[in-house]
């Protein structure tokens, strides 16, 4: 038989490794990693008021207006696509209802 007195040794090393990993993780999170997080946070705040961000917001607003404008070619194409999808859905639902009715009548 195998030596059963040494059976729990592997699990003990596993627990010890986990404790060491948690300690190293806590040190890194509170040490140099914290300075990087603070630096990223301040850079994000700094960039959020920049001219580039404002241009992007303006472009997004223009895109929203174009998409919802029925007179603009893009807005018209989107509305036509939505209408076509609605018609196709109605066709498919009607076909499914006919198929279900045929199945009921056939039984």
Which helix (H) or strand (E) segment holds residue 92: the answer is: helix 73-106
Model pTM? 0.43
Q: What is the pLDDT of residues 93-107, one digit of tens each?
A: 999 999 999 888 876
Which structure tokens are listed for 100?
A: 């279900």
**Nearest to 33, CA basis, from 68, 41, 16:** 41
Which structure tokens are listed for 67?
A: 């998409």
Which structure tokens are listed for 75?
A: 């807005």
Q: What is the pLDDT of residues 10-66, one digit of tens each?
A: 788 888 888 888 888 777 676 666 677 777 777 777 777 777 778 888 899 998 888
């Amino acid at each position: 038989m195998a030596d059963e007195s040494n059976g729990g040794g592997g699990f003990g090393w596993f627990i010890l490794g986990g404790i060491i990993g948690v300690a190293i993780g806590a040190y890194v999170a509170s040490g140099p990693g914290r300075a990087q997080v603070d630096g990223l946070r301040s850079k994000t705040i700094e960039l959020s008021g920049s001219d580039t961000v404002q241009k992007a917001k303006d472009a997004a607003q223009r895109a929203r207006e174009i998409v919802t404008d029925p007179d603009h070619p893009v807005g018209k194409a989107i509305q036509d696509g939505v209408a076509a999808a609605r018609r196709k859905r109605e066709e498919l639902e009607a076909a499914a209802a006919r198929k279900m009715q045929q199945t009921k009548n056939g039984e």
